[in-house]
Chains A and B, each alone.
Chain A
């Protein structure tokens, strides 16, 4: 069965400091990994997906199959990065479901 673990429920970082949101997954097949962001009282928005290897709003995430991780990183935090971040795991055949982690609430301290 698939599982996504986000070990930190809360994370506070000073403005300008580096950010790393941890995500580990468990899946025996070839995974598809995503990061979603939810700003206060808004919808969840797709931030990035590993397959496209893009950088959105300065965030990047690299899939490490050896460590089964997909950590989200940003070198210099900005106040507008304060939000809830969810890591999600998809499979590539048949099953449409994404398995979401429990989320990490990131607070940027001015």
Chain B
């Protein structure tokens, strides 16, 4: 298995533009998580899905952020419009389920909004 795959690895965009981050979880994992990592706040959970259904989106900062999981092998995190304060590394992780299992993280997308 290639692990959790995220794209793009790096994204530089101008303020006001739409940004879409993509994630392919490990096959057979039924939980998917989106995290944001910054120097100031560390690792923040934005949203997680179980069996493609959003379970907890309380970490999504505001309406500019949205996430979808149309099927078991693909998820997107969209920011529209983007702002400089959205600059961060965004990680996707997947889990086979249950708090005992732990997560497998993707390599992350480093987003810079100028």
Q: Which residues of A contact B (CB under 8 A)?
A: 32, 34, 36, 42-46, 49, 51, 86, 88, 90-93, 95-98, 100, 102-103
Contact = CB atoms under 8 A, between A and B. Distances in A.
B91 A44 contact: yes
Interface residues of B, number: 24
Nearest to A29: B99
A97 B48 contact: yes
Contact of B98 (A44, A88, A92, A102): A92
B100 A98 contact: no
A103 B48 contact: no
Contacts of A96: 31, 33, 48, 50, 55, 95, 97-99
Contacts of A49: 100, 102
A92 B48 contact: no
Q: Which of B48, B103, B104, B106 has the most CB of A within 10 A?
A: B103
Interface of B: 31, 33, 42-43, 45, 48, 50, 55-56, 91, 93, 95, 97-108
Main secondary structure of the interface of B (DSSP, over half): strand
Nearest to A45: B105
A92 B91 contact: no
B50 to A, nearest CB: 6
Nearest to B4: A43
Given A44-B91, A96-B31, A97-B48, A90 B43 contact: no
A98 B99 contact: yes
Contacts of B105: 36, 43-45
